[in-house]
Amino acid sequence: MGNKAWSGRFTESTDTFFEEFTESVSFDSILAPYEIKASIAYAKALKKAQILSEDELEALIKALEEIEDQINEGSFHFKREYEDVHMNIEKALFEKTGEVAYKLHTGRSRNEQVVTDLRLYLMDEGDKLKDLLLCFITAIIEKAENNLDVIMPGFTHLQHAQPVLFAHWLSTYAEAARFHLERIQDWEKRLRLCPLGSSAFAGTGFPLDRESLAKELGFSAPLSHSVYAVSSRDFSIEFLFILTLIMLDLSRLSEEIILWISPEFAFIDLPDRLCSGSSIMPQKKNPDSAELIRGKTSVVLGNLFQLLVLLKNLPLSYNRDLQEDKPPLFQAVNTVKASIKMATLLVEGITLNRDRLEAVLKEGHLLATEVADYLVTKGIPFREAHHITGRIVRYAEERKKKLEDLTLEEFKSFSSLIGEDVYTWLTLDHALQRREIIGGTGKMSVKTYLRNFREFLEKWKS
Ligand code: ARG
């Protein structure tokens, strides 16, 4: 037998540059543990179908476990000439067991092996991702709980809008991450389906027990369509979409951290250990880690698009193009894991500049909506109340006054319905108290929200 599994049909050996161009072992060798696990399960299924004897099965399992040990020790050498992780392991198996190694390929195709390995890999990575998200969420909830008394200006259009509890603002990212957790859980239902038994695409010609083969590998069931099993990369694309959504949130959080630490905002500070300096400007302390999360978001977004474009116009079933699904997938997985870890450290490291926040709360007429709402309680329709308040704000601006500094006479010149009680409405506490509503920024509501979130976390962990 020649060097290649297919050499029977060929009359000359493979061009070396062709080999270099087509290999994937330089990036798919990380699938080796899954390839071994899947091969052991497949061998057991072959034994059950009486294609392998008990002795042959034992020899294969022993050799596969030895190969696994070698890989773990770093003494296994993946060779480019053997193309991919599947052939490298098959070759090593042959060196250890001889002919029986080739029996393992009975009715089996790399087309199904590669998707099986990928699905097993993503089952592990999904678990790791959930753990990382839980740490990130916990950091946010803790930071929120420890700063429950801090009010900050809430923004729309990056302009001062209404006062909001810092805990409420920050926990937005925990809320988003909770849905990412649930998305992962939902995606897992479709991920945990086993391709083995699909063979090249038509289904294997040997009587394998696909049900128990799936269970053996921790899948919930076999995939029910052999062409779909080898052709589809939906499971990767779906995961990459979730990864992209996660990165979008981390990027927005990073953007806010970058703004907040700038002297123009100066809402927060970060520990030195999470920042870097400038090689020329000695005074600088830069939020590079947040900037890099924002930057790496473009990488993951690109990875998603790579996969989408890869699949577009691809005829069924397996095409070698599909080999290109791995680098973007692996890159996205690694980038997102690192970014969540970094974002968690950033959240943990945030300290609030309370004096500064107190000072900026006085700027930007954050309580203007309160005046409009106040007028509504006096019977004025909201649109009209809004208009009157707009005129009051303009009047105050022109005189460089805050709304609460206007006299009652001045207020009355805009509407005779305004009374002394308007000043109660012009306090931050009153504005927050009015928002004791499910999901609102009232202190009790936010406390309840955080408490419920803790319960959600406990339930999730158990
Ligand atoms: N290295 C290939 C990939 O990643 C494995 C499948 C190869 N199958 C084939 N028929 N050439 O997609």
- Ligand 1 binding residues, C-beta < 6 A: 24, 28, 84, 110-111, 114, 318, 320, 322-323
pLDDT of residue 125: 98
pLDDT of residue 196: 98
Is the pLDDT reported for residue 266 higher than 70?
A: yes
Dist CA 214 CA 229 (whole Å): 13
Pocket test residue of 4, 24, 201 for ligand 1, highest count of atoms within 8 A of CB: 24
109 labelled catalytic: no
| Contact present, 219 and 211 (Cβ < 8 Å) | no
Q: What ligand 1 atom has the least distance to the C-alpha of 85?
A: 1
pLDDT of residue 277: 81
Dist CA 60 CA 93 (whole Å): 8
Is the pLDDT reported for residue 379 higher than 70?
A: yes
Could you tell me the pLDDT band of residue 2, with boundaries at 50, 70 and 90?
low
Is the pLDDT reported for residue 349 higher than 80?
A: yes
Q: Phi first, then psi: what are they for 160, rounded to 5°?
A: -55, 130
Q: Phi first, then psi: what are they for 165, rounded to 5°?
A: -75, 135
- Mean pLDDT on 294-304: 98
Distance from the CA of 110 to the center of ligand 1, in angstroms? Answer: 6
Proportion of the chain above pLDDT 70, given as a percent? 99
Is the pLDDT reported for residue 1 higher than 60?
A: no
pLDDT of residue 102: 92
Distance from the CA of 111 to the center of ligand 1, in angstroms? Answer: 6
Q: What ligand 1 atom has the least distance to the C-alpha of 83?
A: 1
| Contact present, 141 and 450 (Cβ < 8 Å) | yes
Q: What ligand 1 atom has the least distance to the C-alpha of 200?
A: 10
Dist CA 97 CA 74 (whole Å): 21
157 labelled catalytic: yes
List, in sequence order, every residue forming a beta bridge with 269; answer none if it has no partner: 351
427 C-beta neighbours (distance < 10 Å), count: 14
pLDDT of residue 53: 97
Give the count of alpha carbons within 13 A of 453, CB side only. 27
* Close Cβ partners of 270 (under 8 Å, ≥ 6 residues apart): 257, 261, 285, 287, 346, 349, 350, 351
Q: What sign for the dihedral angle of Cα 270, 272, 276, 279?
A: positive
Q: Tell me the pairing of strands 193-194 and 221-222.
A: parallel
pLDDT tens profile 25-82? 999 999 999 999 999 999 999 999 999 999 999 999 999 999 999 999 999 999 999 9
The one-letter amino acid code at 47 reads K
- Supply the residue whose CA is at minimum distance from atom 12 of ligand 1: 323
- If we measure between CA atoms, which residue out of 140, 303, 329, 106 comes closest to residue 235? 329
Q: State pTM to two decimals.
A: 0.94
Could you tell me the pLDDT band of residue 3, with boundaries at 50, 70 and 90?
low
- Supply the residue whose CA is at minimum distance from atom 2 of ligand 1: 323
Q: What ligand 1 atom has the least distance to the C-alpha of 318?
A: 10
pLDDT of residue 87: 97
User: Which pair of tokens denotes residue 376?
Assistant: 């509504």
Domains belonging to the chain, first-starting first, are 7-106 (1.10.275.10), 111-148+162-198+218-356 (1.20.200.10), 360-461 (1.10.40.30)
Pocket test residue of 86, 323, 325 for ligand 1, highest count of atoms within 8 A of CB: 323
